[in-house]
Amino acid sequence: MGKKSGHTRPEAILHYLPFSDADEKLGMVCTTVGNVEVPPYVEYPPQKNKHPAIFRNVAEGRTLPNFHIIYITRGKGIFETEGKSYTVSPGSVFFLLPGVRHRYQPVFESGWHEYWVGFQGKNFSKLMEEGLLSREHVFFEARLHDSIIAIFNMIIDEVSIQAPLFQLKVCAGILSLIAEILTRNRRQDQTNNYQKIVEKAKSLMEAHVSDVINLLGISEQIGISTSRFNEIFKTYTSMTPYQYYMQLKIKKAADLLEQKSVSIKEVAYQLGFEDQYYFSRFFKKKTGVAPSAWRKLI
């Protein structure tokens, strides 16, 4: 294996991994990972016989039983799935979802360089159930980023060594990869004005953490409608303003509970809860620990 690079590795690396019952109990396993430089005028995929039969018909069309992420760092090509066709260029990344037919290949005259990782398990399937991964949005222009390449290279290194519990570390890397791609895509989709709106709203909420949230008042100070404020805030943070505000209250409550001279009743009062018992139930729901037990942990 060559040294790590901020860009691509010169040699082809491909791993198809067996996994144990213990690995599957994690709810997520890596099934394959690699990268390959496909030169111009070479049949795709190169070294076809080194791939299991299910993977060889990628250029003609196939359906896989698990998830894959493909990241292109050089060259150009096409990706087609469910009647849609995408032009692939450096920085393109696409998700292959279980049971969804697809095909992709580089332009014959240009070739490309690709990274890929395959994975499966109930915890990855949960990402589809919750809508983080969806059939409607499988292609992204993530651009070329050393951070994405570094995660792929880390996964490849861990798989090559296969130290004890490597699957756990590799799957953590896959989750980081998904988060990196989706986060970068979300930031690209949003204007700088979104960030300013959210930052101002957070500042207002922090300044009034002891009050009852006033969405109308916040949106009026920002200069947009309440519905638009809700939409922007949730798109940017993945939380509603109310959910974020209540998280602020929990954080503030935890800070106040460190002051043992302040009673739990006073903490509830300072944070605008209607009574101590409602506050205690809410605090335990969010932290897993009652305020009195939390105080003992300090």
Helix%, strand%, coil% for the chain, nearest 5: 45, 20, 35
Closest CA to 281 of 256, 246, 255: 246
Host H or E run for residue 81? strand 77-81
Most distant CA atoms of the chain, gap in Å? 76
For residue 2, what pLDDT is reported? 36
Q: How far apart are CA 58 and CA 66, in angstroms?
A: 14
Q: How far apart are CA 267 and CA 234, in angstroms?
A: 28
Each residue's pLDDT expressed in tens, for the chain with a length of 298 residues: 333 334 444 456 767 787 777 778 889 999 999 999 999 999 999 888 877 788 889 999 999 999 999 999 999 999 999 999 999 999 999 999 999 999 999 999 999 999 999 999 999 999 999 888 999 999 999 889 999 999 999 999 999 999 988 999 999 999 999 999 998 877 665 556 788 899 999 999 999 998 888 889 999 999 999 999 998 898 888 899 999 999 999 999 999 998 888 999 999 999 989 889 999 999 999 999 999 999 888 7
For residue 7, what pLDDT is reported? 45
Q: How far apart are CA 293 and CA 272, in angstroms?
A: 21
Q: Which two tokens stand for residue 153?
A: 């290279």
Quick check: helix, strand or coil at residue 19? coil
For residue 4, what pLDDT is reported? 37
Q: Which residues contact 262 (CB under 8 A, 6 or more apart)?
A: 256, 270
Q: How far apart are CA 286 and CA 273, in angstroms?
A: 15
Which DSSP symbol is given to 30?
E
Note whether 256 and 267 are within 8 A (CB): yes
Quick check: helix, strand or coil at residue 138? coil
For residue 188, what pLDDT is reported? 64
Note whether 244 and 237 are within 8 A (CB): yes
Q: How far apart are CA 280 and CA 2, in angstroms?
A: 56
Quick check: helix, strand or coil at residue 179? helix
Note whether 205 and 97 are within 8 A (CB): no
Q: What are phi and psi of 81, to 5 degrees?
A: -160, 140
Q: How far apart are CA 26 and CA 52, in angstroms?
A: 25
- What is this structure's pTM? 0.67
